[in-house]
């Protein structure tokens, strides 16, 4: 078991970690008890009632966080010609084809998101061993294999984040920074829940949101009552 610092231990003692909180209460606690001196990331962990071993129950995609992530995102785009120009104009940090593929093969991984045009995927696919384990492989389901590279770059720079279920059925996603207001974090929280509801597999039976926890990078987890997730409906973009 990992040892935690004094600030973490002190924070964990100041509230009942077994009590289920409403989403807003949980976000407020996470902000209040974030122990680090830097601007920590607020993270959401959900345990879904799915079996990712079954192909029809894999939950994967991308969602735009209305309040952004609070993080500068470096985007690499595999494209040529006009699409490469489009990517650069949209603000991509790295753009290339064979040259960029060679750099990545050599160990250059100075990016957070990769986007590729469909015609380059046979070549980019060779990077599977490098990008796959890091969750950086372009995929049509997340909107990172697309002809609309300019729009994709702008979306990921503006707060779009990818998600997928782990083997355990857990999904981890950032909600922003501890410097965000509770309302800003709540808007992102609502967007994530709405997205996960949208992609709920038809074959998934029983309770869908089994466990929900929010935490800061260095802080203790705060349990959220899964039956109170709809408390955030008025923060939803579709409300």
Per residue in 151-206, pLDDT tens? Answer: 999 999 999 999 999 888 999 999 999 999 999 999 999 999 999 999 999 998 89
Q: Which residues neighbour 9 within 8 Å (Cβ) at sequence distance 6 or greater?
A: none
Residue 35 and residue 7 in contact, taking contact as beta carbons nearer than 8 Å: yes
Domains by residue range for the chain, with CATH: 15-69+160-235 (3.30.190.20), 75-157 (3.40.50.790)
The percent of residues above 70 in pLDDT, for the chain, comes to 92
Above 80 in pLDDT, residue 217? yes
Question: 76-87 burial string, b = 16+ CB within 10 Å, else e?
Answer: bbbbeeebbebb
Average pLDDT over residues 90-95: 97
pLDDT (tens digit, 9 = 90+) per residue, 13-62? 666 678 899 999 999 999 988 877 899 999 999 999 999 899 899 999 99
Q: Which residues neighbour 70 within 8 Å (Cβ) at sequence distance 6 or greater?
A: 39, 41, 176, 177, 179, 180
Above 50 in pLDDT, residue 1? no
Helices and strands in the chain, H and E counts: 8, 9
Cα 232 to its chain centre, rounded Å, is 19
**Residue 154 to residue 160: CA distance in whole angstroms:** 9
Above 90 in pLDDT, residue 86? yes
Whole-number pLDDT of residue 11? 56
Q: Which residues neighbour 215 within 8 Å (Cβ) at sequence distance 6 or greater?
A: 30, 42, 43, 45, 221, 222
């Amino acid at each position: 078991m990992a040892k935690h610092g004094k600030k973490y231990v002190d924070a964990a003692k100041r509230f009942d970690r077994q009590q289920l909180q409403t989403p807003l209460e949980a976000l407020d606690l996470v902000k209040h008890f974030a122990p680090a001196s830097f601007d920590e990331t607020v993270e959401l962990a959900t345990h879904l009632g799915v079996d990712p071993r079954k192909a029809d129950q894999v939950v994967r995609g991308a969602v735009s966080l209305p309040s952004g992530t609070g993080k500068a995102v470096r985007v690499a785009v595999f494209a040529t010609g006009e699409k490469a120009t489009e990517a650069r104009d949209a603000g991509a940090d790295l753009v290339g084809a064979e040259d960029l593929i060679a750099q990545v093969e050599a160990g250059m991984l100075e990016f957070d998101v990769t986007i590729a045009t469909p015609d380059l995927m046979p070549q980019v696919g060779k990077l599977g061993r490098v990008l796959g384990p890091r969750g950086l492989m372009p995929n049509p389901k997340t909107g990172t294999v697309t002809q609309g590279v300019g729009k994709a770059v702008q979306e990921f720079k503006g707060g779009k984040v990818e998600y997928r279920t782990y083997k355990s059925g857990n999904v981890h996603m950032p909600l922003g920074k501890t410097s965000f207001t509770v309302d800003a974090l709540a808007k992102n929280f609502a967007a994530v829940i709405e997205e996960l509801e949208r992609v709920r597999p038809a074959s998934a039976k029983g309770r869908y949101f089994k466990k929900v926890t929010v935490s800061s990078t260095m802080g203790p987890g705060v349990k959220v009552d899964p039956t109170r997730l709809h408390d955030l409906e008025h923060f939803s973009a579709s409300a």
